[in-house]
């Protein structure tokens, strides 16, 4: 069994993380057995497809701004999106806020303490439900994230490729899940995957579960888990129209509620063409006199490359009429920190030397 080897290792080597009650802390505070479910939930949502290093700062900021789920539930969505700006996968922030409202308004501010109950919450899928159940409530839930998949694939030498092999991985992981210390075990597995059983150059020689690891025995650890080949990313192109006023700043607007960068703030752009050169937008063109900046802003999203040619125009008249025409609002650069500006939009503003 993995647990017998990995729990003693975790007791010695657990990383100190802002959202984690370390084994040492647990011993020091025997009355506080498990972590605050709100903090576990907040950290787990942030950690979805996002590195620990990136999450730390955001987590501290959120916890300072909204110490409880009730505080978060009362906040305006736009302020949550602003605090989330730069972290990516913005549906997480929209679901985070929606979930906080559900917990505050319908569940008395208390998170469900079962996988089944947690799974019903917006933004909480199989991984996160299991993680909260295990870490916050010490329930013997089987936590399977990318780390656990890698550890299990190697431990059992599962050579079939992802994602097809996932059910088999889940089954193997389930076999290993202990009834005692399930929260520590889950975190130990993830720590092991993050620090020793890494994608490249795994540290098999110092691994606490090396003895029974079949992939290590066969010398194929680094090649597992196998993955289906990736598809090539297409390149989309557009023009960004940066209206600038000496008095009132830049003209920005809110993106549609759903989809890419949903609800976030943007510089107005033309269509994002899926093939060929960017196309000018006649309706935006005729609102001002445009200067095309040198170079192109490049940004890569999950499933496409993006190239933006930036146009700027100095506006001194009819500021409100233009704002109305683009369904936007003027914002001083001093106010940008309070806006929900995603990284790609900051790149555009930076390219125009405006931030």
Partner DNA sequence: AATACGTGGAC
Partner DNA sequence: TGTCCAAGTAT
Residues marked active site are found at 44
The 145-184 site mask, x for binding DNA (CB under 7 A), equals xxx--x------------x---------------------
Q: Which of residues 309-348 bind DNA (CB under 7 A)?
A: 342-344
128 binds DNA (CB under 7 A): yes
The 188-207 site mask, x for binding DNA (CB under 7 A), equals --xx-xx----xx-------
Q: Can you tell me the distance from the alpha carbon of 341 to that of 79, in angstroms, rounded to the nearest whole number?
A: 11
61 binds DNA (CB under 7 A): no
Widest Cα–Cα separation across the chain: 75
256 binds DNA (CB under 7 A): no
Q: Can you tell me the distance from the alpha carbon of 200 to that of 284, in angstroms, rounded to the nearest whole number?
A: 48
Answer for which of 176, 187, 238, 245 binds DNA (CB under 7 A) is: 187
88 binds DNA (CB under 7 A): yes
Q: Which long-range contacts (CB under 8 A, 24 or more apart) does 266-271 make?
A: 266/342, 266/345, 267/240, 267/241, 267/242, 267/345, 267/348, 267/349, 268/240, 268/241, 268/243, 268/326, 268/328, 269/238, 269/239, 269/240, 269/241, 269/308, 270/238, 270/239, 270/241, 271/238
86 binds DNA (CB under 7 A): yes
54 binds DNA (CB under 7 A): yes
DSSP string, 32-86: --S--HHHHHHHHHHHTTS-HHHHHHHHHHHHHH-SSHHHHHHS-HHHHHHHHTT
Beta bridge partners of 249: 245
303 binds DNA (CB under 7 A): yes
Answer for which of 61, 227, 314, 333 binds DNA (CB under 7 A) is: 227
With b for 16 or more beta-carbon neighbours within 10 A and e for fewer, the 154-185 pattern comes to: bbbebeeebeebeeebbebbeebbbeebbbbb
Token couple for 326 = 């683009």
Answer for which of 49, 114, 218, 289 binds DNA (CB under 7 A) is: 49
> What's the closest the beta carbon of residue 322 comes to DNA, in angstroms?
26
Report CA dihedral (10, 12, 16, 19) to the nearest 10 degrees.
40
> What's the closest the beta carbon of residue 334 comes to DNA, in angstroms?
21
> What's the closest the beta carbon of residue 1 comes to DNA, in angstroms?
22
Measured from the CB atom, is 63 or 287 closer to DNA? 63
Q: Can you tell me the distance from the alpha carbon of 299 to that of 348, in angstroms, rounded to the nearest whole number?
A: 10
- Residues binding DNA: number (CB under 7 A): 55
Count the residues in the chain.
355
Nearest in space to 138 (alpha carbons), one of 14, 56, 21 = 21
Give the range of 74-82, 106-114, 117-125, 245-253 binding DNA by CB under 7 A.
117-125
Answer for which of 12, 230, 295, 334 binds DNA (CB under 7 A) is: 230
125 binds DNA (CB under 7 A): yes
Measured from the CB atom, is 171 or 324 closer to DNA? 171
287 CB-near residues (< 8 Å, 6+ apart): 243, 322, 325, 326
53 binds DNA (CB under 7 A): yes
Give the range of 25-33, 70-78, 260-268, 276-284 binding DNA by CB under 7 A.
260-268
Question: Which residues of this chain interact with DNA, rule CB under 7 A?
Answer: 17, 20, 43-44, 47-54, 86-91, 95, 122-129, 131, 145-147, 150, 163, 187, 190-191, 193-194, 199-200, 227, 230-231, 259-262, 299-303, 342-344
């Amino acid at each position: 069994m993995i647990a017998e080897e990995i729990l003693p290792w975790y007791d010695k080597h657990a990383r100190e993380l802002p959202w984690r009650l370390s084994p040492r802390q647990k011993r020091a505070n025997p009355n506080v057995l498990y972590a605050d479910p709100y903090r576990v939930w907040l950290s787990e949502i942030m950690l979805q497809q996002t590195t620990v290093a990136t999450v730390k700062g955001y987590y501290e900021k959120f916890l300072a701004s909204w110490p409880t789920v009730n505080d978060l539930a009362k906040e305006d969505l736009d302020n949550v999106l602003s605090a989330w700006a730069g972290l990516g996968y913005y549906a997480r922030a929209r679901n985070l806020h929606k979930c906080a409202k559900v917990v505050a308004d319908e569940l008395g501010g208390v998170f469900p303490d079962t996988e089944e109950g947690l799974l019903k919450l917006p933004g909480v899928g199989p991984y996160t439900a299991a993680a909260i159940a295990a870490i916050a409530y010490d329930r013997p839930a089987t936590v399977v994230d990318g780390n656990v998949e890698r550890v299990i694939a190697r431990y059992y030498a599962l050579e079939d490729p992802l994602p097809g092999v996932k059910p088999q991985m889940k089954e193997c992981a389930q076999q290993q899940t202990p009834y005692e210390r399930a929260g520590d075990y889950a975190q130990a597995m993830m720590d092991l995957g993050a620090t020793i059983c890494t994608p490249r150059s795994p540290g098999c020689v110092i691994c606490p579960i090396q003895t029974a690891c079949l992939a290590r025995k066969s010398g194929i650890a680094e090649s597992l888990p196998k993955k289906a080949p990736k598809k090539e990313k297409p390149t989309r192109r557009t023009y960004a129209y940066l209206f600038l006023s000496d008095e009132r700043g830049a003209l920005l607007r809110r993106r549609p509620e759903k989809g890419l960068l949903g609800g976030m703030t943007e510089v107005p752009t033309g269509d994002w063409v899926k093939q060929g050169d960017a196309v000018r937008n006649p309706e935006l063109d005729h609102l001002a006199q445009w200067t095309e900046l040198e170079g192109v802003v490049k940004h890569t999203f999950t499933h496409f490359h993006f190239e933006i040619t930036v146009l700027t125009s100095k506006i001194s008249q009819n500021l409100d009429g233009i704002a109305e025409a683009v369904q936007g609002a003027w914002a001083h650069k001093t106010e940008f920190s309070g806006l929900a500006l995603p990284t790609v939009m900051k790149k555009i503003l930076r390219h125009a030397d405006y931030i």
